[in-house]
Amino acid sequence: MVTILSISTRGQGLYNITRELNEIVSTVNIENGLCTVFVQHTSASLIIQENADPAVQDDLQNWFNRLVSENDPLYTHTDEGPDDMPAHIKSVLTATSIGIPIMQGRLVLGLWQGLYLWEHRRRGHQRSLAIHIQ
């Protein structure tokens, strides 16, 4: 089964999508299996990260913006703004697809883990995620 999940972002940042994913998994009636999530964009990505302290997400965002800065003179892909090429690089350095086991009808995430859509662009976008459950 494949479901398309649409997420509206408000700009750069991490968006916890664990609740939405758990809702999809709960409707499938699969006791044990695998849930694969794939982001259908090249300027956003997916990560599994701590969901207890929001400072973790802030620190990741700040560190990544320092690692992959805007306005680098090496960039030639600049037509869509100064945040576009850095967004493509950030998506390459993270993940566009993540697999999470399903056990007893629920995602097998650790106590402090959540799945995040990471929006790398400064303005908001409508992001599509393909969710495949087997």
pLDDT in tens, the chain (134 residues): 799 999 999 999 999 999 999 999 999 989 999 999 999 999 999 999 999 999 999 999 999 999 999 999 999 999 999 999 999 999 999 999 999 999 999 999 999 999 999 999 999 999 999 999 99
Closest among 42, 94, 37 to 63, alpha carbons compared? 94
- Say which residue the tokens 């999530």 belong to: 37
**120, 16, 125, 122: which is closest to 68 by C-alpha?**
120
For residues 131 and 98, what is the distance between their CA atoms, to the nearest angstrom?
A: 10
pLDDT at position 54 is 93
Cα(113)–Cα(87) distance, integer angstroms: 24
Which domains are assigned to the chain? 2-133 (2.60.120.460)
pLDDT of residue 55: 96
Q: What is the pTM of this model?
A: 0.95
pLDDT at 122: 96
Phi, psi (degrees; rounded to nearest 5) at 54: -60, -20
Q: What is the pLDDT of residue 98?
A: 98
Q: How far is the CA of 102 from the CAs of 10, 30, 51, 106, 121, in angstroms?
A: 30, 8, 19, 5, 31
HSE on the CB side for 120, CA within 13 Å?
32
Q: How many Å apart are CA 118 and CA 106, to the nearest integer?
A: 23
Question: What's phi and psi for 30, nearest 5 deg?
Answer: -110, 120
pLDDT of residue 88: 98
Q: According to the model, what pLDDT value does residue 1 have?
A: 79
